[in-house]
A = this chain, B = another copy of it.
Amino acid sequence: MTFSDDVLGRARVKDTDQLQTFYDDLGKHETVALWTVANEIEPWFPQPVSVPMLWRYDDLRPLVLESLDLVKADDAGRRVVALVNPERKDISAAVGLLYTGLQVMGPGEFMTAHRHMAAALRFVVEGQGAWTVVDGQKLRVGPGDFAITPNHAWHEHGNEGTDGPVIWQDGLDIPLVNALDAGFYEVHPNLYQEQGKVINSSLLTHGAGQLRPFGFEDGWTKPYSPLFAYPWEQTYAALQNAARASDGSPYDGIILEYANPKTGGSVMPTMSAHMQLLQPGLRTKAHRHTGSVIYNVAKGSGYSVIAGRRFDWKQGDIFCVPSWAWHEHANLSASDDACLFSFNDFPVMRSLTFWREEAYPDNDGHQTTN
């Protein structure tokens, strides 16, 4: 299939002096001739500005730790090194309309509470002692744990450990919120929230998703998960169980989506997250889909081929797949599991009916790398 714009059905008006005069007249009234921009704004297929990227944890970790001394958390608001796609510096996006960064908190450090229209999620990379208070609920999170801060929920974070810093990855839909002119931000009137007495109460109450409270804690009407934290142990056990019953997806191996137990849907309306297991030696097939994805290597090492380019990764590395880019994954170890955490804007694609997906048609499903 060729994608020439010089066909019937595409704009192919040749420029003339007369038209140039007309275009000038249009410009005087804040208008343009559609046909001068049509092919650009209605492309044959998605033309993401973002490019595939991999950020090595070995590169970022020293910088993240350096920031501990350079700025006070409360001066920074949050002490975060943001990963920015070279082509999206204008909107501080890592890929598509997604933002990500690495946040660091020293032992005993904590920050004030705020809330905003952007939704946030956390994936803990290293360190013991991290906590977050979301809508008054205190959660303790450790490496491999996934937690959410839904939009407009008050939140504040800290590190109650004594041994060292905590580093977690933040994921937010800030660029999406801004693209839709919907950003709001508030500092908590008392600077800090009042906290409930029970730590991890949402996990205790809703942490077995197939059993729901009845007659108590069951009047949930918010559009996001009442379960705010998903511990690594349960997640990893679920992956291993699923692997005993299925080969999983040809493109992703055993891949589970963190779900809202009240609906079975995604944890928040704008972002979803997954954890996937690539069994030893597994090499998946390539596919592409609308929607942008940011990965964090939770375990092991391997590589992904994205848009024809190979990116080797190991634990802690972060990489991204732009919309409609072919991608496939491989676990290079013959003996050890590899796990990829990822988050995405698929709920937006589904709500707005923009989801499309296709398998790589050639070469037994594998891209040729260049």
Contacts and interface: CB of A to CB of B under 8 A. Distances in A.
A357 to B, nearest CB: 9
Nearest to A28: B59
Task: Count copies of this chain in the complex.
Answer: 4
Nearest to A33: B81
A77 B70 CA distance: 57
A89 to B, nearest CB: 8
A12 interface: yes
Contact of A43 (B183, B257, B269): B183
B13 A31 contact: no
A108 interface: no
Contact of A211 (B63, B66, B178, B256): B256
A75 B35 contact: yes
Contact of A205 (B79, B214, B234, B246): B246
Interface stretch (A126-134, A307-315, A328-336, A345-353): A345-353
Contacts of A227: 210
Nearest to A37: B92
Interface in A91-123: 91-92, 96-97, 99, 101, 112-114, 116-118
B210 A206 contact: yes
B204 A245 contact: yes
A22 B66 contact: yes
B84 A31 contact: yes
Contacts of A323: 180-182
A162 interface: no
| From A92, A97, A181, A262, residue with most partner B Cβ within 10 Å | A181
A10 B111 CA distance: 11
| From A37, A67, A96, A238, residue with most partner B Cβ within 10 Å | A238
Interface string A176-198: 11111111111110010000001
A33 B82 contact: yes
Given A30-B86, A81-B31, A42 B118 contact: yes
Contacts of A60: 29, 31
Nearest to A255: B214
Contact of A77 (B25, B38, B223, B249): B38
A353 B37 CA distance: 32
25 contacts: A22-B63, A22-B67, A26-B63, A29-B63, A31-B81, A35-B71, A37-B82, A43-B183, A45-B183, A47-B181, A47-B183, A96-B180, A179-B179, A180-B323, A180-B354, A201-B246, A208-B234, A208-B241, A212-B264, A213-B242, A214-B249, A223-B353, A261-B261, A269-B351, A270-B352
